[in-house]
Structure 1
């Protein structure tokens, strides 16, 4: 009874930014749990390379090139997927970027770029795929937020990133409230620092390493598969009573 609730067999899962890192781990988790995968990335070669690796594991996978900051493209791909597969059951908004810069020195373009990818991109995808889910009578959205939506990180300055993730958390709650009565659940995971190629630079900075790892009660960074496990839970019927939840996966970081 309980283990089968974690199955997403026969469902179509769309994952943005799935060419590597956390997004690829999420695709792997959902594929292992039985989902058909539509993985997207702004880099078409990276998306197809990731898809090829997942196909080797026996998963059904298609890859798409998607820049989440382009609402017309998001709308077109959503329509294409619904026409091709019949419906979209799971959407994971993982695509995101970070630029570290002091607020007083931050350029307009850097501020707008982070907000455009991390917040606007999440909304464009929620709007397009969520509308399709509502029309089909149900679906599940999982947004990848961050513990940075709860805290101010140290020692790096990243006010635009923190603001974008806090906004994603509240967007998650807002959409959850709007759509709960119509069969669409919307939740988010808020990870700590995750060990990927994008964060490997921390190993060359003793000060940053002390804040990142030394500031974590578990005394380590997270792993992509640890975030993917939470996403699988939120995407599956195991979390059927949850909507509007922001699930921290932070090694206890915000406790301090």
Structure 2
């Protein structure tokens, strides 16, 4: 009974930014659970490579180029996927950017908008476009990738722009969950700690003092791995989380305990 709830056989899942890191891990997790996965990615070569890896494993996957900051392009992508597959059951909004270590007083308009365009605006365009499809069919699960930075202020790197974008993503998650809950569409988020991906490479490889602080601030004393976040996403996407909506699940190795 319980293991059955984790299966996604016959469902269609879309993962934005699924070409690497957390997104690629989410795509594999959903694919292994039985879903047909569409990897929507800004960089076509990453999307194709990620999809090819899943296909080699015997999973159902395909690539689609997508710039989430272009709302019209997101609308077209949603319509195209539904036309091809008949439905969309799961959306993982993973596409995100983090160019940290910029003080608030030195943050340019362009730097601020860059993060808001992807981390907040793009996330909403995807929720809106794919949410419309889910509302029509009366079911669906959206999982947004937020951040522990939406709850706390990171140290030592200054990144007010990123923190603000993720806090907004968390509240948007709750707002959509409240609006769509009675219509069969669940909306949740995962708030990871530092995960070993290309986005955190600058701190882990180039700034040893920064990395040391990250570990010191984390009770578990380590960064996370993409598959550890993908496992939470899989749960939230599945029927095992049928009563869960509006939740922001913190997967941070205990970071926000202190």
User: Same-fold call, TM > 0.5?
Assistant: yes
* 2:163 equivalent to 1:162: yes
What does residue range 52-131 of structure 1 map to in structure 2 within 5 Å? Answer: 52-100=52-100, 101-131=102-132
Query: Which whole-Å CA distance do the structure 2 matches of 1:105 and 1:198 have between them?
Result: 21
1:199 positional shift: 1.6
What does residue range 42-61 of structure 1 map to in structure 2 within 5 Å? Answer: 42-61=42-61
Which residue in 2 is equivalent to 1:153?
154
Aligned structure 1 segments of 4 or more residues deviating by more than 4 angstroms: none
Out of 197, 215, 218, the residue aligned to residue 216 of structure 1 is 218
Out of 215, 232, 238, the residue aligned to residue 236 of structure 1 is 238
Q: Look up the SS of the partner of 1:213 in the other structure.
A: helix
Question: Cα deviations across residues 122-144 of structure 1 (Å, max 9, x unaligned)?
Answer: 00000000000000111000000
Which residue in 2 is equivalent to 1:198?
199
More deviation, 205-214/166-175: 205-214
Q: Look up the SS of the partner of 1:151 in the other structure.
A: coil
Query: Which whole-Å CA distance do the structure 1 matches of 2:205 and 2:110 have between them?
Result: 29
Which residue in 2 is equivalent to 1:132?
133
Query: Which whole-Å CA distance do the structure 1 matches of 2:228 and 2:190 have between them?
Result: 11
Query: Which whole-Å CA distance do the structure 1 matches of 2:99 and 2:206 have between them?
Result: 18
Segments of structure 2 that go 5 or more residues without pairing to the other structure are: none
Query: Which whole-Å CA distance do the structure 2 matches of 1:8 and 1:168 have between them?
Result: 26
Question: Cα deviations across residues 72-123 of structure 1 (Å, max 9, x unaligned)?
Answer: 0000010011111101000000000012211111110010010000000000
Query: Which whole-Å CA distance do the structure 2 matches of 1:191 and 1:9 have between them?
Result: 27
What does residue range 31-50 of structure 1 map to in structure 2 within 5 Å? Answer: 31-50=31-50
Which residue in 2 is equivalent to 1:30?
30
Which residue in 2 is equivalent to 1:185?
186
Q: Tell me if the contact between 2:218 and 2:254 (Cα under 8 Å) persists in the aligned partners.
A: yes
Q: Tell me if the contact between 2:97 and 2:199 (Cα under 8 Å) persists in the aligned partners.
A: no
Q: Look up the SS of the partner of 2:5 in the other structure.
A: helix
Query: Which whole-Å CA distance do the structure 2 matches of 1:62 and 1:206 have between them?
Result: 38
Which residue in 2 is equivalent to 1:5?
5
CA RMSD of aligned residues (A): 0.7
Query: Which whole-Å CA distance do the structure 1 matches of 2:144 and 2:199 have between them?
Result: 19
Normalised to the residue count of structure 2, the TM-score between the two structures is: 0.98
1:200 positional shift: 2.3
Q: Look up the SS of the partner of 2:216 in the other structure.
A: coil
1:210 positional shift: 1.8
Number of positions where the alignment pairs a residue of Structure 1 with one of Structure 2: 256
1:28 positional shift: 0.5
